[in-house]
Amino acid sequence: MKEEHPIVQNSTELYHPSPETVAQANVKDPEAVRIEAAKDIQAYWAKRAEELDWYKKWDKVLDDSDKPFYKWFTGGKTNIVLNALDRHVKTWRRNKLALIWESEKGEVRTFSYHAMNREVCKFANVLKSMGVVKGDLVTIYMPRIPETVIAMLATAKIGAVHSVVYGGFSVEALHGRIEDSGSKVVITADGGNMNGKKIELKKIVDEALKRSGQPEHVVVIKHLGIDVMMEQGRDYWYHELMTLPMSKNGLKCETEVMDAEDPLFILYTSGTTGKPKAILHTHGGYSVGIHATIKDVFDLKEEDRWWCTADPGWITGHSYIVYGPLIAGATSIMYEGAPMYPYPDRWWSIIEKYGVTIFYSTPTAIRGLMRFGESWANRHDLSSLRLLGSVGEPINPEAWRWFYKIIGKEKCPIMDTWWQTETGMFMMAPMPAQPLKPGSATKPFPGIDADVVNAEGKSVPVGEEGFLILKNPWPAMMRTIYKDPERYVKTYWSTYPGYYFAGDSARKDSDGYFWVIGRVDDVIKVSGYRLGTAEIESAFITHHAVAEAAVIGLPHEIKGMAIHAYLILKSGNEPNELLIEDLRKHISHELGPIAKPEKIEFVSSLPKTRSGKIMRRLLKARAQGLSEGDISTLEE
């Protein structure tokens, strides 16, 4: 709690929106809306829910009779697909582009709303024919290709629940998530392209399924055209299934009518234990929350071309690549590969080529591209841009200013959005018509009440660091941890009873602007990716040479945070470079390349409390040469 995140400062720099930005903004006076919403959050959210279609309107906006198991729009009947596709294909938007996709190699595919709906209907029929019914779990483990979107929507359409596992995860991470979810079907591809390399996903699925109770079926999309093993009776090619007679009536798949509170998806995210948490989101409130936020914060208009560079495998992809833009009837851009491939201007060339108007990305990517200098951006006409966005970690003012000046040409406000897998939608974010401060996510979204408190739950004075909490429920909030409601209550609602504990520290300045500093738990944000120290430690000790492991996150110039591991070896093992390389490979194989440690050190002991808990705080302080603080609980 004491250490400062080196890249976050307090700033008095203020960037005012241009008169044109204010004139065209969906929300002209954000402050007035915040004040109005705070007076009656239920009235506010009911109004926002009216913007969507419902099979049947709700009886009650918020049911808080069983806190913290809040329910929204109870009695309402909907399906996210009703708003994301069905309502659009009845209008002129059926001919509008829903998705423009470009592969890393430069192949382009486009889908109108009509085409997207047709593919979704066809695949929904395929899933049905495989015996998938309402409430069943489906794991989606994919590269960044249009079929990922189709698979998610088809699953939702028939009332099944998707669990998307990020394609950058590997065998053990995938195995754990398939097994915990009890998925009936796994949808994957032969592989994907990333940074000029072929990532062989089907091979990883095969290995994971050797460790898991088998799901009944695996559907494989042929994307790379590489050889894969197909197990008879279990594995099916997507393109063959999509031409079978049962999917001929593709356009005739009825959307399942769901209760507003029925589950839409689970998404695993890292926490403080080795076991990832399956965050559960529902159809009704989630649709309302992501629609309201994308409309107000990103000012989304009919003519916009929206590009969120995230992966559908994370919450940002769920909310703001797949569902948010589709509900808004927007045109979304999706790019398969790496930003530096083949050169560091790939992203800027995509913006120019498709006339992207709103570009939403991460501080790590911006810092990474900044390194190559502005000439890569200056080769391209970026004048179509009108708004920029940032998410996933604090953005340091230097990266903010570069983004603003070099990419936005000093005319595009940057929406720094603070939120989480658990919150489903933006909790704190500016709106275009409001002044910005580089590095601050500014203020809570209307209807959200945030505060910074001390260990006793009292608001801390202006400028002081404390724990970030949320005092009001909101429609897109997680409903529980799948199969573990006790952990839901304990993790989020027990530290400050009645309030949501976000796990971040923050400061509030005298203008009421919030400055998020970083995680205060054992979660590390590496390049914006969320990893748990315990999950990485568990993977380390499955290596034959490792007796004990402790993992911490330390500041990194580009990645924000980087993983440092301290290992005690089993006797008879040589602590040398070869072993370090082997251990890095092991982590990459078990969890994925994103979990590869920056540095591995061999030690003879680890600082522990008398009850045997590793004192990561102490390891961190020592590594950074900071004061060790209170060490009265240290064992030795």
* H-run or E-run covering 126: helix 113-129
Q: Minimal distance in Å, beta carbon 478 to ligand PRX?
A: 10
Residue 316 or 332: the one with the smaller Cβ distance to ligand PRX is: 316
Does position 421 bind ligand PRX by CB under 6 A? Answer: yes
d(CA 328, CA 320): 10
Q: Minimal distance in Å, beta carbon 172 to ligand PRX?
A: 19
Residue 34 or 530: the one with the smaller Cβ distance to ligand PRX is: 530
d(CA 557, CA 227): 40
Considering only residues 552 to 591 of the shown chain, the ones binding ligand PRX according to CB under 6 A are: none
Residue 348 or 492: the one with the smaller Cβ distance to ligand PRX is: 492
CB-CB neighbours of 461 under 10 Å:
11
Residue 46 or 558: the one with the smaller Cβ distance to ligand PRX is: 558
For residue 612, the Cα-to-chain-centroid distance in whole angstroms is: 33
Q: Minimal distance in Å, beta carbon 363 to ligand PRX?
A: 8
d(CA 241, CA 301): 37
CB-CB neighbours of 498 under 10 Å:
10
Long-range contacts of 208-211, Cβ-Cβ distance < 8 Å, separation of 24 or more: 208/171, 208/172, 208/174, 208/175, 208/178, 209/175, 209/178, 211/171, 211/172, 211/175, 211/179
Query: Contact region for ligand PRX (CB under 6 A) — 117-125, 213-221, 416-424, 580-588?
Result: 416-424
User: In the numeric block, which tokens belong to residue 518?
Assistant: 């970083």
Q: Minimal distance in Å, beta carbon 245 to ligand PRX?
A: 42
Q: Minimal distance in Å, beta carbon 29 to ligand PRX?
A: 23
Which of 323, 359, 419, 474 lies at the binding interface for ligand PRX (CB under 6 A)?
419
Does position 271 bind ligand PRX by CB under 6 A? Answer: no
Which of 206, 256, 393, 535 lies at the binding interface for ligand PRX (CB under 6 A)?
393
Residue 125 or 269: the one with the smaller Cβ distance to ligand PRX is: 269
Residue-wise DSSP of 17-66: PPHHHHHH-S-S-HHHHHHHHHH-HHHHHHHHHTTS--SB--SEEEE-TT
Does position 269 bind ligand PRX by CB under 6 A? Answer: yes
Q: Minimal distance in Å, beta carbon 8 to ligand PRX?
A: 8
Angle, CA 516 vertex, CA 512 and CA 519 arms, to 5°: 150
Q: With contact defined as beta carbons under 8 Å apart, do 110 and 353 qualify?
A: no
d(CA 117, CA 88): 9
Residue 417 or 491: the one with the smaller Cβ distance to ligand PRX is: 417
Does position 503 bind ligand PRX by CB under 6 A? Answer: yes
Residue 58 or 418: the one with the smaller Cβ distance to ligand PRX is: 418
**Three-class SS of residue 108?**
strand
Residue 314 or 348: the one with the smaller Cβ distance to ligand PRX is: 314
Q: Minimal distance in Å, beta carbon 373 to ligand PRX?
A: 25
Residue 299 or 416: the one with the smaller Cβ distance to ligand PRX is: 416
Which of 519, 559, 564, 617 lies at the binding interface for ligand PRX (CB under 6 A)?
519
* 58-75 per-residue burial string, b: 16 or more CB within 10 A, e: under 16: bebbbbeeeebebbbbbe
Q: Minimal distance in Å, beta carbon 560 to ligand PRX?
A: 9
User: Cβ neighbours of residue 59 under 8 Å, at least 6 residues apart?
Assistant: 74, 75, 76
CB-CB neighbours of 284 under 10 Å:
29
User: In the numeric block, which tokens belong to residue 244?
Assistant: 């079978």
Treating both helix axes as pointing N-terminal to C-terminal, what angle do 171-181 and 201-211 enclose, rounded to 10 degrees? 60
Query: Contact region for ligand PRX (CB under 6 A) — 130-138, 163-171, 372-380, 496-504?
Result: 496-504
Q: Minimal distance in Å, beta carbon 536 to ligand PRX?
A: 15
Query: Contact region for ligand PRX (CB under 6 A) — 104-112, 153-161, 419-427, 574-582?
Result: 419-427
Which of 285, 368, 394, 424 lies at the binding interface for ligand PRX (CB under 6 A)?
394
Does position 448 bind ligand PRX by CB under 6 A? Answer: no
d(CA 431, CA 238): 42
Site string for ligand PRX, 312-351 (x = CB under 6 A): ---xx-----------------------------------
Does position 508 bind ligand PRX by CB under 6 A? Answer: no
Q: Where are the alpha helices (DSSP H) in 563-615?
A: 577-590
Residue 342 or 463: the one with the smaller Cβ distance to ligand PRX is: 463
Does position 168 bind ligand PRX by CB under 6 A? Answer: no
**Closest C-alpha among 198, 201, 197, 233 to residue 220:** 201
CA dihedral 413, 393, 308, 155 (to 10 degrees): -140
d(CA 382, CA 356): 8
Site string for ligand PRX, 357-386 (x = CB under 6 A): ------------------------------
Does position 504 bind ligand PRX by CB under 6 A? Answer: yes
Does position 391 bind ligand PRX by CB under 6 A? Answer: yes
* Residue keyed to tokens 């060790």: 628
Q: Minimal distance in Å, beta carbon 392 to ligand PRX?
A: 5
Query: Contact region for ligand PRX (CB under 6 A) — 206-214, 417-425, 541-549, 612-620?
Result: 417-425
Q: Give me the phi and psi of 332, to 5 degrees please.
A: -110, 145
- Residues found near ligand PRX in the complex (CB under 6 A): 269, 315-316, 391-394, 416-421, 441, 502-504, 516, 518-519, 525, 530
